Amino acid sequence: EAISNFANRLAALTPGFAGADIANICNEAAIVAARRRADYIEMQDFDKAVDRVVGGMEKTRTGGSSLINKKELEIISHHEAGHAIAGWFLEHADPLLKVTIVPRSNGALGFAQYLPREMHLRSMPQIMDVVCMALAGRAAEQVFFGTENITTGASDDLRKVTAMIYQTIQIYGMNERIGQLAFPKDDAGGGFGEEKKYSDATAQAMDEEAKRIVDEAYARTVRLIEERKEEVQKVAQLLLEKETIHHDDVLGLVGERPFEKDPAYQQYVSSRKSSEEDGCEDNSSRDDEKKEEEMTEGSGAGLVPGLV
C-alpha cells in the first residue's frame, strides 16, 4: 500500500497530535504487527495503536470476558449509540470513524473517534450541532431507560458542553442578551486567581443564558433521539454483539449521512473497507497480545496523554 495512503489515513486518525505522539503510534503499530507475526505493518496495526494511545489498553478478564456487567454494558452501548446517531444526522457534527464499548485502562468505559473538519471559524448553528452531539449520550439514556435511571456516564460530555456554551457567551460575543462583549479569563497574578471584569448581575445573566441554551439544546437532542430511536437501538445492539464498530457498520445499518461529505472524510472511509478485510488475526496472536497487555498495564509503557 502506498505510503501516502497510510499518511493520509493516519492524519485523519490523529488530529491535534504532536510529532512525538505520531512517533509513539508508529512504534505501537510495529509492536502490534510483531504480535501477529506479520512481515510488515498494515493499517489495522495503526488503528489498534491509535486506540491504545487515545483510549488506553483494553481491560478484560482472563478469557476475554468484559469487566462490566450486562446491565451496565447495555446502558453504555445505548449512550455511545446516541452519540453516533446524533452525529450521523447533525449536519455540522464531526463524522464518525469508530465507536467502542470496550473499557480502557484510563477509566473510560467506551469512546468514539470522529474526524474533525479543517475549520478555523464556527457559527452558532455549527457549535450547537456539536453541543447536541455531546448531549446525545445522556439523551439516549433518558429515552431508553427513563429520567430516573440516567447515569454518571455523561460527566465529561457535560463538562465540555458547559465550557463551549460559556465561551460563546463570555468570549465570542454570540449571545444577544449579553451582547457584543468579551470577558476572557484573566489571572490577576500574585496567587489571587481570576479577576472578574463584570458585575454580579452580568454574571447571573450569563448563568441564566447558559442554562437556557443548554436546556434548549438538550430538548432538541431528546427529540432527535426519539425520532431516530430505531436507528439508535440497531447501533446499540450491534455494539453489544461486536463491542467495536466502524463507519461502515453504521452505514450498513442506517444508510448514508444526508449531507455532503468532507473530502478528507470521503478519502478515509473509501479506503477503510479494504483495510478491514485484510485485518483478520488468528486466536494465538490475540492471546499473545492479551498476555503482554496484562504484563505492561501496571507500568503504562508506551502510553501518552490521549484525546478521550
Catalytic residues: 80
**Angstrom distances, CA of residue 59 to CA of 67, 264, 278, 288, 294:** 7, 32, 25, 15, 9
- CA-derived radius of gyration, the chain: 21
What DSSP character marks residue 173? -
Cell digits of residue 281: 488475526
Q: For residue 110, what are the contacts with CB-CB under 8 A and spacing of at least 6?
A: 76, 77, 79, 80, 99, 100, 101, 102, 103
Dig out the grid coordinates for 146 from the structure: 427513563
Please tell me whether residue 113 adopts helix, strand or coil conformation: strand
What amino acid occupies position 288? D
CA distance 7 to 73: 35
Task: Give the whole-angstrom CA distance, residue 291 versus residue 183.
Answer: 52
Measured in residues, the chain has a length of: 308
